[in-house]
Chains A and B, each alone.
Chain A
Amino acid sequence: MAILLLDILTTASMLFIVAAGLMIILGVMKLINFAHGAFLTVGGYAAHVVTAHGFSPWLTIPAAAAFGFVLGVVVERVVVRPLYSRPLDAILATWGLGIIIAQVIVFAFGREVQFAQSPISGTVDLFGTGYSSWRLILIAVAVVLGLLLTALLYLTRFGLNARAVIMNENLARGLGIDSIRVRAMTFGLGAALACAAGALITPLLSVDPNMGLPWLVNSFMLVLVSGIAIPGLALASLVLGGAQVLVSTFVSPIIGGITIVVLAAVILRIKPQGLSRG
């Protein structure tokens, strides 16, 4: 029972961490970034490169985030900026970008499965059983990440500008906010979060050129169900992630794999605005 609860909490944390970058981009830019999965993969490979060169595994996360930020700013300039007025096309263009990134990774690293060293390995004795310590750390990471993002949006100048752009871009521009810069920074931030998330989940998984793909659809569903808000995303991760764990444990792991997608489609049919609105 305790293990089940821990599984639910850690799964929800992973989902929250992975989906955060996608949500920031969708929230501020009204843009669905289908390259999100590829960004996760890039993060995983960044972690692999860092540990393969003998650096401390703790460096994998900042390294992945920094690389992701640069990548995000470049991608925003080249691919995303011309498509602001065509949101459905932006989905396709970022999907194409994901294909390109996956192919570049194949060129550089081959198709084989790789591994990255974990900052902490082993288990912790909890309620009489051993539990993966990295999974437990992810709970803390998710909480800190949620608080930091909330602080960023509500306590900083950037956050104020970003919220102004979310609510009324034309008016924000009229008030002298450089909305193009806000968008570039946001996409960079979203990509950085995605890459860092990739680095954070690699200790539990292996690294391969398509590792991000399964996470893409689940993150997308969670973000829509969340109603694009940080508490909403936490709630959606807990509810849908919890459902996934329960179904996987008691019914079948294969059905568990589609729990989030199916539940999200049903929830959005009933509440099109997601959990945190109306």
Chain B
Amino acid sequence: MADIPAAGRVPDATRRSSRQVWRTVLGAAIALAIVATAPLYLGTYMTNVLTRALFLAALALTVDLIWGYTGILTFGQSAFFGIGAYACALVFTHWGFGAGWAIGALVIGIAVAMVTAWLTGLLSFYHGASPLYSSIVTLALPIVLTQVIFSGGRFTGSSSGLSGFPTYYWKIDTWFWIAGVFLVVAATFAWLFVRSDYGRILIAIRENEDRCAYLGIPVSRIKTALFAVCAGIAAISGFGYAAFSNVVAPELAGFQLGTESLIWVALGGRGTLIGPILGAIGIDATSSYLSGNLPFLWNFIVGVTFVAVIILLPNGIASLITGAWRRYRTRGAGGGDQPRDSGIRLTAAPSVRAAAAAGRSASPPIRIDGLTCRYGSLTVLDGIDVEGKQGQLLSIVGPNGAGKTTLMRCISNGTERTGGTVTVAGTEIGRSSPQKIVGLGVGRSFQNTSLFDSLTVGDCLRLARYRIDGARPFYRSETVALPEPALEILAATGLDQRLGVETRYLSHGMKRGLELAMVLATEPRVLLLDEPTAGLTKPERTAIGHVLTRLAEEYGLCIFLIEHDLDFVREISNRIVVLHQGKLLLDGTVEEVVSSELVKAVYAGQDLEATV
């Protein structure tokens, strides 16, 4: 953290960022003006209906943050809404009423909701959990809570709920203003948040959670924290809803409201914040309005629209408008795949590596002892011992299925191996998750390029710096400080001119280059590269080879490289390890391995095109 360059606050960037803040403040001011004047021209009935809808819209806002931005399909946000509502009703019914009691009840509601969400997060957001599992837990949550309310007897009012408790019998307009201001404030913070560094991380988690973990981003912790904060906001809106409507019922905490909030978000447009708010207000207000005249028909229409939108417009009705706007805008700029101003500038990070590495030369960067990996009866790796030295470029070769990629996996994820130990710079990795191992200084690139499709090159690089530079909520950094080798790769592949391009528009070579630059941006001590040059042209390959050699020689990195092209291997590596059927066949210098009869036999026996 200490080495964020002072260049982070260049005047240009500050201006851009403050323009963003001012624009948001202006939007919020307009929204507040609408809220302030709305009761003047709405009738009492509509004001009443809309006040309820505004509280529910705040619930939809949290669902959008969790599902729309981060990709966690949650059925259980209603549980936190219900906790807030019941905190209000229970305190006012059983203990007392007044300003002090109200604040106390609100605090209790928020605290209970956040603790519940935190526990739910601990249970369901562990590394390797399937996205379905967290959905299952969020589905169980409201069901359990509803049953708890049912079993509360007279205390919770059981199935009929609590009503008629003392509350503030303010004018309806006052309640409308409270709900409106609360929603505008929550939405403004959410708006700034999703545009901040953390907002990019949420999208990155949605797009490619695994990659995030291998960049050292603590995915589980971020998800849990987000879940807890959103639970707190939902609890506040539930509290307001209960205090206003003076009725609470188990339905407020139920699974049906949870799914209904998903419908609002999906119809309004997930990942847009404004869409879900309008969706919630529109649907809830219209259904209250129509419930007298055509109640069943209205639900039917909502159902049909919902299914049609999910199938035909996955991004919601709002996408019709935003899509048209984007087309209009990009027509001027010449298409989304063209470089445009990304608003991100690259700077050089101070090179701390050489100094740090010198101090740690006592223990080798990486040591593997007796590493074994089995899947059932299939043994993929069997008793591998390798030690990687500082400044050494070690190539791992072997026929397909020899266990090369599995070896990389076992080093970079503590839960993969069956036996043996892996020690990174003197620290045994144990059963650590990938992000912890990245923290020890292990960087890994994947065999198949693994990036974040809808993020720009600049955003991807910013993400890769999370571990070192951190991220700020409500603020978007304008500079990315990268270590010199990463900058070199960006320059060699021309990526430094394309910082504003979304990665899905990049060519294969550029994607490989970007991935390598991202891994280098985490400033690893040990670099694991799985076929970094596969499918690249000769010049690209040479450029990467050149960078790798320099990384080992000048920066003292220990590099593990999986390669099939033995000419390339011979050119750049100073040590070769041969794997065959999960066993370490040979470990020696380039000459030893190249002249080995054993290696020739293995490759010839496998009938591979490579000849040594």
Contacts from A to B (Cβ < 8 Å): 32, 79, 82-83, 86, 88-89, 91-93, 95-97, 99-100, 103-104, 106-107, 217, 220-221, 224, 252, 254-255, 257-258, 261-262, 264-265, 268-269, 272, 278
Judge whether B299 is part of the interface by a CB distance below 8 angstroms. Answer: yes
Check B300–A100 contact: CB distance below 8 A.
yes
Judge whether B143 is part of the interface by a CB distance below 8 angstroms. Answer: yes
Neighbour of B73 across the interface among A91, A97, A261, CB < 8 A: A91
Check B150–A89 contact: CB distance below 8 A.
no
Judge whether B239 is part of the interface by a CB distance below 8 angstroms. Answer: no
Q: Please report the C-alpha to C-alpha distance between residue A224 and residue B134 in the assembled complex, in whole angstroms.
A: 13
Please give the distance in Å from B459's CB to the nearest CB on chain A.
24
Check A99–B303 contact: CB distance below 8 A.
yes
Neighbour of B151 across the interface among A32, A93, A255, CB < 8 A: A255
Q: Please report the C-alpha to C-alpha distance between residue A264 and residue B143 in the assembled complex, in whole angstroms.
A: 13
Q: Please report the C-alpha to C-alpha distance between residue A93 and residue B267 in the assembled complex, in whole angstroms.
A: 12
- Known contacts being A83-B311, A88-B131, A262-B144, is A96 close to B151, with CB within 8 Å? no
Check A99–B136 contact: CB distance below 8 A.
no
Check A92–B147 contact: CB distance below 8 A.
no
Check A257–B147 contact: CB distance below 8 A.
yes
Neighbour of B296 across the interface among A96, A97, A106, A268, CB < 8 A: A106
- Known contacts being A83-B310, A254-B150, A265-B123, is A272 close to B299, with CB within 8 Å? no
> Interface stretch among B258-266, B333-341, B420-428, B484-492?
B258-266
Check B311–A93 contact: CB distance below 8 A.
yes
- Known contacts being A96-B263, A103-B299, is A82 close to B143, with CB within 8 Å? no
- 8 extra interface residue pairs, beta carbon distance < 8 Å, beyond A92-B310, A272-B133: A88-B73, A92-B263, A220-B136, A254-B147, A258-B144, A261-B143, A272-B129, A278-B376
Q: Which residue of A lies closest to B131 (CB)?
A: A88
Please give the distance in Å from B123's CB to the nearest CB on chain A.
6
Neighbour of B136 across the interface among A86, A224, A278, CB < 8 A: A224
Q: Please report the C-alpha to C-alpha distance between residue A88 and residue B66 in the assembled complex, in whole angstroms.
A: 14
Interface membership of chain B positions 127-138, coded 1 if the CB is closer than 8 angstroms to chain A and 0 otherwise: 001111101110
Residues on B with C-beta less than 8 A from A106 are 296
Q: Is the interface of B mostly helix, strand, loop or mixed?
A: helix
Q: Please report the C-alpha to C-alpha distance between residue A269 and residue B134 in the assembled complex, in whole angstroms.
A: 10
A-B complex: 8 closest residue pairs judged by Cβ atoms: A99-B303, A100-B303, A96-B306, A96-B307, A103-B300, A254-B151, A93-B310, A261-B140
Interface centre among B140, B144, B306 (most CB of A within 10 A): B140
Please give the distance in Å from B146's CB to the nearest CB on chain A.
9
Residues on B with C-beta less than 8 A from A268 are 133, 136
Check B310–A265 contact: CB distance below 8 A.
no
Neighbour of A104 across the interface among B151, B259, B300, B310, CB < 8 A: B300
Q: Please report the C-alpha to C-alpha distance between residue A261 and residue B140 in the assembled complex, in whole angstroms.
A: 6
Interface membership of chain B positions 285-327, coded 1 if the CB is closer than 8 angstroms to chain A and 0 otherwise: 0000000000011011011101100110010000000000000
Q: Please report the C-alpha to C-alpha distance between residue A221 and residue B135 in the assembled complex, in whole angstroms.
A: 11
- Known contacts being A83-B310, A93-B307, A100-B304, is A264 close to B136, with CB within 8 Å? yes
Q: Is the interface of A mostly helix, strand, loop or mixed?
A: helix
Interface residues of B in 10-58 (CB under 8 A from A): none
Interface membership of chain B positions 265-277, coded 1 if the CB is closer than 8 angstroms to chain A and 0 otherwise: 0100000000000
Neighbour of B311 across the interface among A82, A103, A257, A278, CB < 8 A: A82
Residues on A with C-beta less than 8 A from B132 are 32, 224
Check A258–B143 contact: CB distance below 8 A.
yes
Q: List 30 A-B contacts (CB under 8 A).
A: A79-B311, A88-B131, A89-B314, A91-B135, A92-B73, A92-B310, A93-B311, A95-B259, A96-B303, A96-B304, A96-B306, A96-B310, A97-B303, A97-B307, A99-B299, A100-B307, A106-B296, A107-B296, A217-B139, A217-B143, A220-B136, A224-B136, A255-B147, A258-B143, A258-B144, A261-B143, A262-B144, A268-B136, A269-B124, A278-B376
- Known contacts being A88-B131, A255-B147, A272-B130, is A79 close to B307, with CB within 8 Å? yes
Interface centre among A93, A96, A97, A255 (most CB of B within 10 A): A96
Check A92–B266 contact: CB distance below 8 A.
yes
Q: Please report the C-alpha to C-alpha distance between residue A32 and residue B133 in the assembled complex, in whole angstroms.
A: 13
Check A269–B123 contact: CB distance below 8 A.
yes
Check B300–A252 contact: CB distance below 8 A.
no
Interface residues of B in 90-134 (CB under 8 A from A): 123-124, 129-133
Please give the distance in Å from B516's CB to the nearest CB on chain A.
30
Please give the distance in Å from B466's CB to the nearest CB on chain A.
26
Residues on B with C-beta less than 8 A from A91 are 73, 135
Residues on A with C-beta less than 8 A from B310 are 83, 89, 92-93, 96
Judge whether B255 is part of the interface by a CB distance below 8 angstroms. Answer: yes
Please give the distance in Å from A146's CB to the nearest CB on chain B.
24
Residues on B with C-beta less than 8 A from A224 are 132, 136
Q: Please report the C-alpha to C-alpha distance between residue A262 and residue B307 in the assembled complex, in whole angstroms.
A: 30
Please give the distance in Å from A249's CB to the nearest CB on chain B.
16
Check B302–A99 contact: CB distance below 8 A.
yes
- Known contacts being A106-B296, A221-B136, is A99 close to B143, with CB within 8 Å? no
Residues on A with C-beta less than 8 A from B140 are 221, 258, 261-262, 264-265
Residues on A with C-beta less than 8 A from B259 are 95
Residues on A with C-beta less than 8 A from B144 are 258, 261-262
Residues on B with C-beta less than 8 A from A99 are 299, 302-303, 306
Q: Please report the C-alpha to C-alpha distance between residue A189 and residue B339 in the assembled complex, in whole angstroms.
A: 51
Q: Please report the C-alpha to C-alpha distance between residue A103 and residue B305 in the assembled complex, in whole angstroms.
A: 14
Check B314–A86 contact: CB distance below 8 A.
yes
Check B303–A103 contact: CB distance below 8 A.
yes
Residues on A with C-beta less than 8 A from B147 are 254-255, 257-258
Neighbour of B137 across the interface among A79, A83, A265, A278, CB < 8 A: A265
Please give the distance in Å from A254's CB to the nearest CB on chain B.
4
Q: Please report the C-alpha to C-alpha distance between residue A240 and residue B129 in the assembled complex, in whole angstroms.
A: 22
Q: Please report the C-alpha to C-alpha distance between residue A93 and residue B312 in the assembled complex, in whole angstroms.
A: 11
Q: Which residue of A lies closest to B265 (CB)?
A: A92
Please give the distance in Å from A119's CB to the nearest CB on chain B.
32
Residues on B with C-beta less than 8 A from A272 are 129-130, 133
Please give the distance in Å from A264's CB to the nearest CB on chain B.
7
Please give the distance in Å from A90's CB to the nearest CB on chain B.
8
Residues on B with C-beta less than 8 A from A104 are 300
Interface centre among B123, B137, B297, B307 (most CB of A within 10 A): B307
Check A103–B296 contact: CB distance below 8 A.
yes
Q: Please report the C-alpha to C-alpha distance between residue A264 and residue B302 in the assembled complex, in whole angstroms.
A: 32
Q: Please report the C-alpha to C-alpha distance between residue A82 and residue B312 in the assembled complex, in whole angstroms.
A: 9
Q: Which residue of A lies closest to B375 (CB)?
A: A278
Please give the distance in Å from A263's CB to the nearest CB on chain B.
10
Please give the distance in Å from B484's CB to the nearest CB on chain A.
42
Residues on A with C-beta less than 8 A from B376 are 278
Residues on A with C-beta less than 8 A from B73 are 88, 91-92
Residues on A with C-beta less than 8 A from B266 are 92
Residues on A with C-beta less than 8 A from B302 are 99
Q: Please report the C-alpha to C-alpha distance between residue A232 and residue B602 in the assembled complex, in whole angstroms.
A: 44
Please give the distance in Å from B155's CB to the nearest CB on chain A.
14
Q: Please report the C-alpha to C-alpha distance between residue A217 and residue B138 in the assembled complex, in whole angstroms.
A: 12
Please give the distance in Å from A142's CB to the nearest CB on chain B.
24
Q: Please report the C-alpha to C-alpha distance between residue A99 and residue B310 in the assembled complex, in whole angstroms.
A: 14
- Known contacts being A99-B299, A254-B151, is A92 close to B262, with CB within 8 Å? yes
Interface centre among B143, B151, B302, B314 (most CB of A within 10 A): B143
Q: Please report the C-alpha to C-alpha distance between residue A151 and residue B14 in the assembled complex, in whole angstroms.
A: 70
Q: Which residue of B lies closest to A90 (CB)?
A: B310
Residues on B with C-beta less than 8 A from A83 are 310-311
Q: Which residue of B lies closest to A253 (CB)?
A: B151
Residues on B with C-beta less than 8 A from A262 are 140, 144
Residues on A with C-beta less than 8 A from B311 are 79, 82-83, 93
